[in-house]
Amino acid sequence: MDFESSYDISATAAFIHSRNFPRVALQFPDNLLKDSTKVVAALNQRLQSLRENDVTGSVDLTEAALYVMADTTYGSCCVDEVAALHINADCVIHYGQTCFSPTTTLPAFFVFGKASISIANCVESLSKYALSCSKPIMVLFGLEYSYSMEHIKSATLEALMSSRSELKSEVHFADVPSSFMFPSKDFRNLNGLQEAANGLTNNGSSNETSGPMYSIGGLVWKLPEGKSMDDFLIFWIGLDNSAFANVVLTFNACETVRYDATENRLMTDLSQQRRILKRRYYLVERAKDANIIGILVGTLGVAGYLHMIHQMKELITSAGKKAYTLVMGRPNPAKLANFPECDVFVYVSCAQTALLDSKEYLAPVITPFEATIAFSRGSQWTGSYVMEFRDLIHLPQVEAKNQEEARFSFLQGGYVEDIYGHENAEEDREALALVHATEKALQLRDHCSSLIKRDAKSGAEFFAARSYQGLNIDNENTVPEPYFIGRKGRASGYEDEKSKHGS
């Protein structure tokens, strides 16, 4: 596959040229940064050609200045509006894997890339599975394979129609309605994705009696009337990455298989992904005993993040707990270890970076949905899982069905009184044993803590007792003069720089 096609040079240049953006930020992930100079050269050449051939004269065209952005503030899947605004960019061209989270201030154009895939092998695997499956199939895919989906769709339908075997299930495909987005005042709207999907069925044709519409990670699809996702089997084409984990958790009631395009084989054993849900439930149980909660800001660009932070504060304080908001870029165990007073952290970020593996952290890191379950009195987990925090904003909290919380069975998919009376109950027994052991350990810890430290410190007292309290050091303090080494002031204009400019 040639370079210009892989990076959509023509489409990107047309997007910039048609809207006459004077300053454009090009956001690359680390693995694609090596090609950034070639992309800039190709874009400049294409833009110059478009300006020379523009004979309309209706717009005073200016030469676009291209800026390469690397080392994103947070996850590379999100549009880094913070870094783009540092150079007063008018739009962002985002390269590589994306979560398609809506932007706050800047328009964005997405270049998904074109990962290699054997269309013939993929069609064969999908067709064989469809012929043996009794459920209707919904085909979802990584955006890096979107360029090949029309060929896969048409070849699969042709193979199924020409097959002599009786087709037991229908095959439906998700769509990518747009490769660009504009900021929306309504952060719950997917920036035109819903409007672009209206009137479309799963094969792109018009649908007069449309069913419910679903969307995840830039994909949209509509189901037939009277159907829900629980009736479907999900056939994922792509890697075992964060986008796939988002699908597995969001539609955890659906049976899921994955076609690995790099190894050209079908993966049907997804027990590892299923165990993620049990791990998340365990973290919810731990979070219920927390007293001080840190709210980690995991994005400064995804629309609605401020609303979510305020909602989390209200939820935590209404539960009688203390909340502190922390902004530290990408979290890691070393950073969070600086806040030992926090019993748990709530990570407000996009869906594809929300699940932090907190096994190496001193305190659990949970999502806003898990916080809603943990800190709402009498709430119950019905088995559904919400990855997008925008779906929680301004929604009523989970209503309490009773004051005594029941236990959730992952195999039965609901709350039950006796989870040991069904088949394969061993996994549930192990999960509950882990929860019970944790509860006993926490009770023992609380009992010992009450004997040792009767006067519990607040977050402010912890901060005041630290030897290091940040960069704002007062000149009147008792720190010896040799410790003041280097420049003083803000990075935008140090004191010695101001004196030089003034002289």
- 233 and 332 share one domain: no
Tokens of 160: 């199924």
Residue 443's pLDDT is what? 54
pLDDT in tens, 339-355: 989 999 999 999 888 88
Distance of alpha carbon 426 from alpha carbon 429, whole angstroms = 5
Final residue belonging to a domain, choices 58, 78, 111? 111
Q: Is residue 23 part of a domain?
A: yes
* Gyration radius (Cα) of the chain, Å: 26
Spell out the SS3 assignment of 192-223: CHHHHHCCECCCCCECCCCCCEEEECCEEEEC
Asked whether residue 459 is assigned to any structural domain, the reply reads no
Q: Is residue 490 part of a domain?
A: no
Asked which of 229, 252, 269 is the last residue of a domain, the reply is 269
Contact 25, 87 (CB under 8 A): yes
Residue 447 in domain = no
HSE-up of residue 49 (Cα within 13 Å, Cβ side): 10
Rounded (10°) CA dihedral 343, 349, 350, 352: -40
Same domain, 351 and 408: yes
**Residues 123 and 256 reside in one and the same domain:** yes
Considering the domain architecture, whether residues 303 and 420 belong to the same structural domain is answered as yes
CB atoms within 10 A of CB 29: 17
Judge whether 472 lies within some domain.
no
Domain containing residue 98: 3-111
From the number of C-beta atoms within 10 Å of its C-beta (0-12, 13-18, 19+), residue 292 rates as: buried
Average pLDDT for runs of 10 along the chain of length 503: 86 93 93 93 93 66 86 86 90 93 91 93 92 91 94 92 73 91 66 40 42 88 89 93 90 91 87 78 88 91 87 93 90 90 93 84 92 84 82 55 39 41 46 53 52 52 64 51 57 64 48
Distances (CA, A) of 227 to 106, 183, 206: 37, 32, 18
* Helices 271-287/426-452 angle, 10° precision: 30
Neighbours of 471 (CB within 10 A): 6
pLDDT in tens, 362-398: 899 999 999 999 998 777 777 788 888 888 875 444 4
Does residue 256 sit in the same domain as residue 285? no
Domain membership of residue 248 (yes or no) is yes
Q: What is the DSSP letter of 418?
A: -
Q: Is 406:415 a contact under the CB 8 Å cutoff?
A: yes
What separation, in Å, do the N-terminal and C-terminal C-alpha atoms of the chain show?
57
Cβ atoms of 117 and 81 within 8 Å: the answer is: no
390-401: burial string, b at 16+ Cβ within 10 Å, e else: bebbeeebbeee
The pLDDT, as a whole number, for residue 503 is 45
Sign of CA dihedral 81, 16, 219, 153: negative
Q: How many domains does the chain have?
A: 3
Residue type, 252: N
Q: Report strand pairing: 213-216 vs 219-222.
A: antiparallel
Do 133 and 236 lie in a common domain?
yes
Q: Are residues 146 and 281 in the same domain?
A: no
Q: Which residues contact 56 (CB under 8 A, 6 or more apart)?
A: none
Q: Does residue 332 sit in the same domain as residue 412?
A: yes
Query: Is residue 244 located within the same domain as residue 183?
Result: yes
At 150, is the secondary structure helix, strand, or coil? helix
Tokens of 382: 């019905």
Q: What is the pTM of this model?
A: 0.75
Question: For residue 167, is it within any domain?
Answer: yes
Give a yes or no: residue 445 inside a domain.
no
pLDDT value of position 61: 65
pLDDT of residue 441: 54
**219: CATH:** 3.40.50.11850
| Upper half-sphere CA count for residue 79 (Cβ side, 13 Å) | 31
Is 107 in the same domain as 143?
no
The last residue of one of the domains, among 269, 296, 314, is 269
